[in-house]
């Protein structure tokens, strides 16, 4: 038996998620595609696939026949839009999976804390940069304490639509908090770069972790294992080169870390790239692909209540 779902947001992310649900899930069933632009490509494609659509936003969703049968609502709008949508849907008991940086619910990154928030009414998928980099911070922090972690996400400007551009501030704040709360770093920082290169480059991410004395081989093994875990549901996720270790001068880090700098000995650098699966978007849009793939993974687990019912 499948769980009926709705996707709010008929832009790039919402449309890619719709195609992933249709093509890849045996657990979820598209029951509604929701937008605010009647001319959007996402609504047009949903209509051609005989999926019920509305261009009246969340109010239109609530008024649709069959709304009561929908169990999960994915929100691929904007941080501000999600807060409004969540408020409108609250009386109806729907499970929300939030692909915006609104951060009104607990952060979930599948290979790190997939099963910890199954009962939450509103699950937040952090950001594309968070989904790509937080697993690496977590892989280091399960080996050794991480006083500081910094991530830099570089994405093609062509894959950054109006919603992404409107959420830049929320992206950096939400990702930094999740680097700490999910990744395990004491302090986190996040930077996003919109790369205007033509032809477009695929998503690339750099993760820096500061640590004390640590077994380098243990860190490499932990990161390699985590990359394999993410690649189970995002096949284009991979290390760009070997994990690098550089000795650091603790005194130079005092302005950044204060007294915590005294114990720092190493900067661990991890370089990643994320190639999209091209379900709807081109392969260079790995930043959007990793968000929709992670949301699908979580949605299947919410629907089934067990990892055995979800695709790897």
* Mean pLDDT in order along the chain per 10 residues (312 residues): 97 96 97 97 98 98 98 95 97 97 94 92 96 98 98 93 76 94 98 94 97 98 98 97 97 95 97 97 95 97 68 38
Q: What integer pLDDT is reported at residue 310 of this predicted model?
A: 40
Question: Does residue 164 have a known ligand-binding role?
Answer: yes
Determine if residue 176 is labeled as part of a ligand binding site: no
**79 carries a ligand binding annotation:** no
Convert the pLDDT of each residue in 235-264 to its tens digit. 999 999 999 999 999 999 999 999 999 999
Q: Per-domain residue ranges for the chain?
A: 3-125+290-309, 128-282
Which residue from 28, 33, 27 is spatially nearest to 13, judged by alpha carbons? 33
Fold of 128-282: Dihydrodipicolinate Reductase; domain 2 (3.30.360)
**Cα–Cα distances in Å, from 254 out to 153, 239, 248?**
26, 31, 12
Question: Is 45 annotated as contributing to ligand binding?
Answer: no
Q: What is the pLDDT of residue 74?
A: 98
Provide CB contacts within 8 A for 5, sequence distance 6+.
Answer: 21, 28, 29, 30, 31, 70, 71, 72, 73, 74, 299
In this prediction, residue 311 carries a pLDDT of 39
Indicate which residues carry an active-site annotation.
Answer: 128
Strands 122-124 and 53-54: unpaired
Three-state DSSP state, 37: coil
The answer to whether 180 and 188 have CB atoms below 8 angstroms apart is yes
- Which CATH superfamily groups domain 3-125+290-309? NAD(P)-binding Rossmann-like Domain (3.40.50.720)
The reply, when asked if residue 162 is annotated as ligand binding, is yes
Omega before 73 within 30 of 0, i.e. cis: no
Predicted local confidence at residue 163, as pLDDT? 67
The answer to whether the annotation marks 163 as part of a ligand binding site is yes
CB 170 within 8 A of CB 98: no
Which residues make beta-bridge pairs with 232? none
């Amino acid at each position: 038996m499948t769980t009926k779902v709705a996707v709010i947001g008929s832009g790039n992310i919402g449309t890619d998620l719709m195609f992933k649900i249709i093509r890849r899930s045996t657990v979820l069933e598209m029951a509604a595609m929701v937008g605010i632009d009647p001319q959007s490509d996402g609504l047009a494609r949903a209509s051609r696939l005989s999926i019920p659509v509305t261009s009246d936003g969340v109010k239109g969703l609530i008024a649709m026949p069959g709304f009561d049968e929908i169990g999960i609502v994915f929100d691929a709008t904007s941080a501000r839009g999600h807060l409004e949508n969540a408020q409108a849907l609250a009386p109806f008991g729907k499970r929300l999976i939030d692909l915006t940086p609104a951060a009104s619910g607990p952060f979930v990154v599948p290979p790190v804390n997939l099963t910890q928030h199954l009962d939450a009414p509103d699950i937040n998928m952090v950001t594309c940069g968070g989904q790509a980099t937080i697993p690496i911070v977590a892989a280091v922090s399960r080996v050794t304490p991480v006083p500081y972690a910094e991530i830099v996400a570089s994405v093609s400007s062509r894959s950054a639509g109006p919603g992404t551009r409107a959420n830049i501030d929320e992206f950096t704040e939400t990702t930094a908090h999740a680097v700490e709360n999910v990744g395990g770093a004491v302090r986190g920082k996040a930077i996003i770069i919109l790369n205007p290169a033509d032809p477009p480059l695929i998503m690339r991410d750099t993760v820096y972790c500061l640590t004390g004395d640590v077994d380098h081989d243990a860190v490499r093994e932990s990161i390699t294992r985590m990359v394999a875990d993410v690649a189970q549901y995002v096949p284009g996720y991979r290390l760009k080169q070997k994990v690098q270790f550089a000795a650091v001068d603790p005194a130079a880090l005092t302005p950044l870390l204060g007294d915590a700098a005294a114990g720092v000995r190493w900067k661990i650098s991890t370089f990643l790239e994320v190639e999209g699966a091209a379900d709807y978007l081109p392969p260079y849009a790995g930043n959007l692909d990793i968000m929709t793939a992670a949301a699908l993974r979580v949605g299947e687990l919410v629907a089934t209540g067990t990892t055995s019912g979800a695709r790897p």
